[in-house]
Structure 1
Amino acid sequence: MTVTAVTGSVRELVDQRLIAVVEREMGRLGFLGGQEREAVRHLLARFVIDGGKRLRPSFVFWGHSAAGGSAEERDAVLSAGCAVELVHSCALILDDIMDESDTRRGRTTAHLALLDEHRQEGWRGDPRRYGESVATLLGLLAYTWADTAMVATGSARSWEVFTQLRVELIGGQYMDLAHAARGAGTRSQALLTGAYKSGKYTVEGPLLLGHALARGLPGVRAALSAYALPLGEAFQLRDDVLGVFGDPALTGKPAGADLFLGKQTYLLAEARRRTGGHGHTPVDDVRDEAEVAAARELIVACGALEAVERRIDLLTRKATAALERAGLPEEASAALAELARQVTDRRA
């Protein structure tokens, strides 16, 4: 079986377990009315089950394998993978509210779907406030489902890692909002924010969760972090590029979304640095498609895009080199090398 086939089989296992977890948790909602229950199923349950690449559960799985975990612990590993995926679903729903996003994974975002329902039904109150409020509750429900999945692991040791993963994610998202509100940020601020809002909870946190479930040795933990930290940064930088240049048909998100939102990403900080620094530039206060096009041209012309692509390549090679030095089990090492390619060469 090829490495790609092996990583694909992990996704299938996670998908099967996610379906079971979501269906079990939907069973707790029998007290809801039919319309409300259908909203949960359509906007949360389907969102969890039908979308996503399962990168984070895959890192949990291979972190466990790299640490010498046993096949008897497979159920716990899959449950932990589901927990991380449910936290990710929560993060996406809340992120869409904060970013006022129209689409996610090619579909209308939850808060806008709920807004539309409110308007169509002619209900009382502000449709936007209703949509954002109910979508926030759906995110919290996903967060709660993540706890139930973690309980099934039966591992007290893994809870500390899982808690740290969530704290870092929330703290990173707060930094992202604060820096966008304050205006142009530095490259170092952008890297710190990206590490905590995305990179660490995508790669390092899930790997260390798998390591904790295997009760792995400290040396293996250090080796996994040496691989994960540069790879997590490369993952976020790729996300920054997609946030400006990504094709909505592939990303499922609006074109130039980071420009409209005034995100303080490394890519945009690099463009500002190369085009005169700290004052207003064409990458700031973007309001329409023409300004998106102008900003993209500037980012390319000043060399910022090329610089970020070089950094992604350097970080990926650094992660791969750390993996080669680690002396991990052969199958786990090969799978982690394949995942490094997947997270840095994304088309969506």
Structure 2
Amino acid sequence: MTAVVDHSLGLDDVPAAVEAALAEFLDGKAHTGAGLRQFTELLRGLLGAGGKRLRPVLCCCGWLAAGGGDPAPVVPAAASLELFHMFALIHDDIMDRSDTRRGRPTVHRALADRAPGRPDLTDAERFGVNGAILVGDLAMVWSDELLHSSGLSADRLAAARPVLDAMRSELMYGQYLDLLVSTDLDSGLEASLTVARYKTAKYTVERPLQLGAALAGGDEQTHEACSAYGLPLGEAFQLRDDVLGVFGDPGVTGKPCLDDLREGKHTALLAIALRQAGPAQARTLRALVGDARLDEDGAAVVRGILRDTGALDTVERMIHARCRQAVDSLDRSPFPPAVRAALTRLATAATVRTS
């Protein structure tokens, strides 16, 4: 069992330390002479537009949970998760055809506006999408470079490799599942929860915790405790995203609240509503959800049905239950008391939020 050593986490300092590590890395890339300044500007803009830095903080928690001591040595590795997250967001926005992210134009939209020459709209959009794919790919490559230039020992990096490989594979699988069920309104609740587990729960909470633990030399019991906490909390995090995607304030979330409905995204919220809807309500949902021309009046009708069927209340209960399960698991974990306290606070922040 990992030795129980209490630490003063200083988690409030981790986001700033991560920002500094990312800024230093991107500054170095901007001055390599390889014509990468435009790419670094795009990534810097997306990184600087917001974000919770939840994955790096969880990585530092995993490090401390495994007895790693002062988290400063793991900060660059934790920051690499943010670059990988940029890759995921950029590609996700392309697949979702999103226009904005964190209140700014998405990368493919920004690049379309910079298309060289005087292209027509189709050519400009193609340039934007193709360019954004490359920027996303570069962010993934750089995340690996930042991790392996973090200064951690080769044996620690080797121990963390299986966790990193699993995280990347699970995210790709989750994204593919999302494509399969995203517009199939009849795929059911279990399908939406499977997507949430692979696309979000593992990638957002479980694996970042385990990565930090692996880098600190954590044992199997520590990794299992990371899963017991991470999987239910990650699912709750995604369920909250589903709610905010329909009921959130765009001025706070940074994304329009019509996108998920226009796309016809199959979420747990929608699956439950269809399961509990009467015939007329179900017909209305099927007519409106997935309509690319859906306006705010139509969205208000959908929101009313989501409330009236009890779907919204059901999802709120699911969020609460999963958050409680995650927090309760900490009582059985080998984590130091300060880590358990920090993860309890993070559970609330991740699920009771407006963005």
Structure that is richer in helix per residue: 1
Q: Partner of 2:72 in structure 1?
A: 74
Q: How does 1:7-156 map to 2 (within 5 A)?
A: 7-28=11-32, 30-32=33-35, 37-71=36-70, 74-75=72-73, 77-118=74-115, 121-123=117-119, 126-152=123-149, 153=152, 154=154, 155-156=157-158
Question: Is 1:342 the equivalent of 2:349?
Answer: yes
- Tell me, yes or no, if structure 1 residue 282 matches structure 2 residue 279: no
Indicate the residue corresponding to 1:312 in structure 2. Answer: 319
Aligned equivalent of 2:298:
291
Structure 2 unaligned spans of 5+? 1-6
1:168 corresponds to: 170
Aligned-pair identity in percent equals 42
User: Which residue of the other structure, out of 333, 338, 342, is the alignment partner of 2:340?
Assistant: 333
Give the gaps of 5 or more residues in structure 1. none
Residue range with higher mean Cα deviation, 199-208 or 269-278 = 269-278
Deviation at 1:4, TM superposition (A): 12
Contact 1:245 1:256 in 2 (8 A): no
Q: SS at the partner of 1:295?
A: helix
Deviations 1:50-80 (A, max 9, x none): 4311000000000110111133x732x2122
SS in 1 for 2:52: coil
TM (normalized to structure 1)?
0.91
Contact persistence 2:90–2:106 (CA under 8 A): yes
Counterpart position of 2:3: none
| Runs of 4+ with deviation above 6 angstroms | none
Residue 314 (structure 1) shift: 0.8
Contact 1:66/1:211 (<8 A) preserved: yes
Amino acid aligned to 1:285? G
TM-score by length of 2: 0.90
**Cα distance in 1 between the residues matched to 2:76 and 2:162:** 16
**Aligned-partner SS, 1:86:** helix
The alpha-carbon deviation at position 200 of structure 1 amounts to 1.0
Match of 2:26, as an amino acid? V
Code of the residue aligned with 2:197 in structure 1: it is A
Contact 1:200 1:232 in 2 (8 A): yes
Paired letter, 2:72: R
Distance 1:223 1:31 in 2: 44
Pair 1:159–1:302, CA change in 2 (3 A) = same
CA distance in 2, matches of 1:27, 1:50: 22
- Which residue matches 2:4? none
Aligned-partner Cα distance in 1 for 2:176–2:284: 25
Q: What do residues 212-239 of structure 1 show as CA deviations (whole Å, max 9, x unaligned)? A: 0111121121112111111011001001
Q: 1:235-279 CA deviation, whole Å, 9 max, x = no partner? A: 010011011111110000011321111111111100110114896
The 8 Å contact of residues 18 and 49 in structure 1, kept in 2 or not, is answered as: no
- Going from structure 1 to structure 2, the CA distance change for 1:109 and 1:248 (only over 3 Å counts) comes to same
Question: Aligned in 2, Cα 1:27/1:38: closer, same or farther, shift over 3 Å?
Answer: closer
- Aligned-residue Cα RMSD (Å) equals 2.1
Matched residue of 1:254: which SS? coil
Q: What's the offset of the Cα at 1:89?
A: 0.6
**For structure 1, which segment, 182-191 or 93-102, has the greater mean C-alpha deviation from structure 2 after superposition?**
182-191
1:182-210 CA-partner distances (Å, limit 9, x unpaired): 44321000000011111110000100001
- Residue identity in the other structure for 1:145: W
Aligned length, in residue pairs: 338
